Structure 1
């Protein structure tokens, strides 16, 4: 049996020291044993978990509607099932968004196991994020869309088909979830909850809620909340703070990145924090990797959340011990009056054809295939029936190849349409011209993607926070609701301002940095990139202060357009800002991901490969900077 009431440890230690918050998930695939590891490998106070990407809510909604899914994430339940005994023994509190579309259902399932085991643990769930009925009714009534997330920037053009969900009959809404803050989590903790199941709270909200309650902050302690928002951003994404998705990984022994631990944030009463991991585990927590993760999926220096606005332009990231990195100098302001509303709808149907070509004459081979398909589609009257018909060549044949694999590339014919018949027409055309193929034509083994499948499209809207009905419910031992409390709304808002967008002040002549040599940008720069709806963000940084004036002067907005090469389109837009204490330059490129991950035409729908594409560009690098790099890398390895 567990303690009869709140443990002595909680009573004695709460608020007297930094709270240790260990994250166990950043995606739905993270297994349950990661929760148990965090609970057993060292001392912690809270376990948090983020199981939700934008699109998996919608995917599950369709399955849930036909009785093929419970609505919650199975790996979240797996973690609770594996870890409940340890949670009870150590009195570790859990806050996760793995309840997804059905947080009350996962909470009741958890409560049933708690009751069966006779544990004295309180289970709660947070409600108020699911707005599908409201959104459907408003669309039917007014025929108008909610305000678009990027609508306040008059330099941005919405992507083609962005407003397609106005066709409520042909493209019905399947999910609509608003991003909640930590207010419901706080109410649950105040009612004594030990395990809190959320739906679509913002990624960092479980971490904010844990630290907010632990230190007894008010909802106007903006500097503290802002610091915790950044700490939550750093640890919420699986092992990204401990070595995953790290552009400097090749400077270390690769074995160190096998079986990575997940991150821990130690949040102090003033909102500063230390990012770390359990001792004796693999991976690394150093300034380079934490800087990479900070720069991931930002939209400039102002980080928005439902509880606070964080001004991060003067953020400091410092190594304060082995696998210990401190965050400080973050300023907070009231939150914006709106929060993000993620609407997914049936966008239509999509398919892809994959065709391989080898070696000599590759460019002409793919040109011939494209001409044949367009000719056949025109014969059938289908050339104007597609939402999108994209011919993408992936790879470049190696010169003087040593194997046929080195010489082989492929073309991806990616198509979207309102009707399945249009895509079957594309497949039929491909078959008809199949034996009129170019020299050496061959196919990939898996042809299932050539058959039409339905796809989900994303519309990022805005929702007024004062219109939300957020709250928390505590369950009784039999799974019924014992107590419910409304979360209320933030007491004050800060109006959204245009994002900063500037090239560096007083840029220096590139030649003033001395003799240059041709080198890949990645030889001297680390980076990370990711998706923000239709947009890609990328942050790039150097690791020595003497190198920063070169990076500032070199990486202008015009330069980023040049580096994108043939991927740049005239309807894109670039924003740029700087993080001087991090020696970093940050960009948001608006538009490359179309309507977002679920319907993106690109292979790299999450924008994660964009950073290493830019780092692979050969540019003029000052010889002095290049000569410094081995010493810098050796120093970083020594710190590990």
Structure 2
């Protein structure tokens, strides 16, 4: 392992094993078993996970930490001990101390030589109402052009009707580095940012200081690249259609070899399935960005000039990241009880489907209007999902469905939706059918999300190292806020410079954009991000000129709303254009009315829309015969 009090020149190999609580423990075991690694990290905390963990713990329905994190460490303990691998995970969720103590007891029972620690300070539920009285600024509040969906901040004025259930600040790497410096072999964290375990591990390995901003920023991006489990080895990959389905079985997770200067090589264990290519790395890089500055509570990473280059098979070098002092604030994820929601799915087959949906929507609305309750819903949407196949070859191929989605702060209002549908049931359109499971129609509570910012001075961060024996006291270390910070500046937002006339690229074919372009999209609070890229410099000259803000609005078609705000930046070294669509997810993943509540499908939708693409590019990327089959 890294020598004490000296920087190591060998790249540190950091393997990630999880991007969500659904990732099974076997992924950690595989990272430990099938090749050399120095540190294994795990990111188990989607934003909504903290709210559900808080409710679980408050109601004594569970431990408040993530079971799959415990499973992975439990099955890997012998290997961790034998190979002296460090473990840093945020699977402690709302109870990092509880998970650390459980593992500590297990290690003692096994007689292993492993020290356990835990990081706390992210949970601000005890002081969130005090913060509200001072000011609880929205994460996007500095931009006057950004509008929020209805009721985004209504909980601030209705604390009893919409009580806060979780308020967790995104912590950085400093407590993690301190814990490793103090001898911890396993560190259990709560809501540290997704990449913080990787930054902390690299900073410990090289003994970086808080002012080594370029190195810290490089490791931040390395963490971003591997934090989502298999997303960099083939999972959620826009180019998947070029590979046989069997290539996506039992994917292994990614590894980042971080160099002393903060650059990294993204790779994987040779014996595990999956593939690491410049395209998989670019897709993951573009995932859940918010412009060309990537924020962490310890460093700002300027990613404008990032480069991605294949070094050899399954080895991709990432460089060009610049670091700057962090902001004086960090993100505070606030979840509150937003009310109740329910949904109804109704199927239609065959002929004149639009008329059928018109009838169904009108019947339900008319009944609710008669009962004087139609205007009592906070949200009532009739979403038409799918298009029936022309001249269908089966009933399945001709079937689409209507999704009736409703929300209200009053549970009794939602109960009327089922009643209104039942009341007119036998007047239904021809061929109506539905699932016999009507549980989604039962109103259920939902959490709404408010992404805020909080001063890092309001956070009392600590790392505690448990004693190796029953008589040795735990050592608790306080972690002060960063020594140096600088205010955030407005995010860059621009069209391309010196665009090239599109007609200069010659004849075009009207094809799906995805025939040439790969993409990745995802959620950023109430917003959706999308990054799109092409392969060659010539394609880039066309694409940067083609992919304007107006172009994205046009490609979104009926999904674009005039109150949305759009940001655009470019990453020229990887031939990518990146957008953030502000407002598209409403109040966030847990409460949006969108079927694609995580925004993951947005990029694939845009790639499916047809556009006029220069004919000459198809010979460079995909054969004409392949195009005809798509």
**1:197 corresponding residue in structure 2:** 188
1:124 equivalenced with 2:117 (yes/no): yes
Gaps in structure 1 of 5+ consecutive residues: 1-6, 635-640
Structure 2 residue matching 1:492: 3-state secondary structure = coil
**2:137 corresponding residue in structure 1:** 147
Cα distance change, pair 75–467 in 1 and its aligned pair in 2 (3 A): same
The offset of 1:21, in angstroms, is 0.2
Aligned positions of 1:280-359 closer than 5 A: 280-359=271-350
2:397 paired residue among 394, 398, 406:
406
2:245 paired residue among 238, 245, 254:
254
1:67 equivalenced with 2:56 (yes/no): no
C-alpha distance in structure 2 between counterparts of 1:258 and 1:608, whole Å: 21
- After TM superposition, the score normalised by the length of structure 2 is 0.97
C-alpha distance in structure 1 between counterparts of 2:533 and 2:443, whole Å: 42
1:168 paired residue among 147, 150, 159:
159
**1:638 corresponding residue in structure 2:** none
C-alpha distance in structure 2 between counterparts of 1:552 and 1:208, whole Å: 33
Aligned positions of 1:612-627 closer than 5 A: 612-627=604-619
The offset of 1:11, in angstroms, is 5.8
**1:521 corresponding residue in structure 2:** 513
Kindly provide the CA deviation profile for residues 217-250 of structure 1, in whole angstroms up to 9, marking residues without a partner as x: 1000000000000000000101001110000011
C-alpha distance in structure 1 between counterparts of 2:17 and 2:496, whole Å: 39
C-alpha distance in structure 2 between counterparts of 1:145 and 1:372, whole Å: 46
Structure 1 residue matching 2:335: 3-state secondary structure = strand
Determine if contact 1:112/1:478 at 8 Å carries over to the other structure. no
C-alpha distance in structure 1 between counterparts of 2:247 and 2:392, whole Å: 33
Determine if contact 2:6/2:207 at 8 Å carries over to the other structure. no
**2:423 corresponding residue in structure 1:** 432
The offset of 1:478, in angstroms, is 3.2
C-alpha distance in structure 1 between counterparts of 2:240 and 2:341, whole Å: 36
Structure 1 moving runs of 4+ over 2 Å: 9-14, 136-139, 477-481, 630-634
Gaps in structure 2 of 5+ consecutive residues: none
C-alpha distance in structure 1 between counterparts of 2:452 and 2:9, whole Å: 41
**2:371 corresponding residue in structure 1:** 380
**1:471 corresponding residue in structure 2:** 462
C-alpha distance in structure 1 between counterparts of 2:228 and 2:340, whole Å: 31
2:77 paired residue among 62, 84, 89:
84
C-alpha distance in structure 2 between counterparts of 1:198 and 1:257, whole Å: 31
C-alpha distance in structure 1 between counterparts of 2:194 and 2:619, whole Å: 40
Aligned positions of 1:206-285 closer than 5 A: 206-285=197-276
The offset of 1:253, in angstroms, is 2.2
C-alpha distance in structure 1 between counterparts of 2:43 and 2:213, whole Å: 23
Larger CA deviation: 478-487 vs 417-426: 478-487
Structure 1 residue matching 2:555: 3-state secondary structure = helix
Structure 2 residue matching 1:598: 3-state secondary structure = coil
1:157 equivalenced with 2:150 (yes/no): no
Determine if contact 1:164/1:347 at 8 Å carries over to the other structure. no
The offset of 1:138, in angstroms, is 4.3
**1:3 corresponding residue in structure 2:** none
**1:27 corresponding residue in structure 2:** 20
Determine if contact 1:187/1:471 at 8 Å carries over to the other structure. no
- After TM superposition, the score normalised by the length of structure 1 is 0.95
The offset of 1:60, in angstroms, is 1.7
Length, aligned pairs only? 624
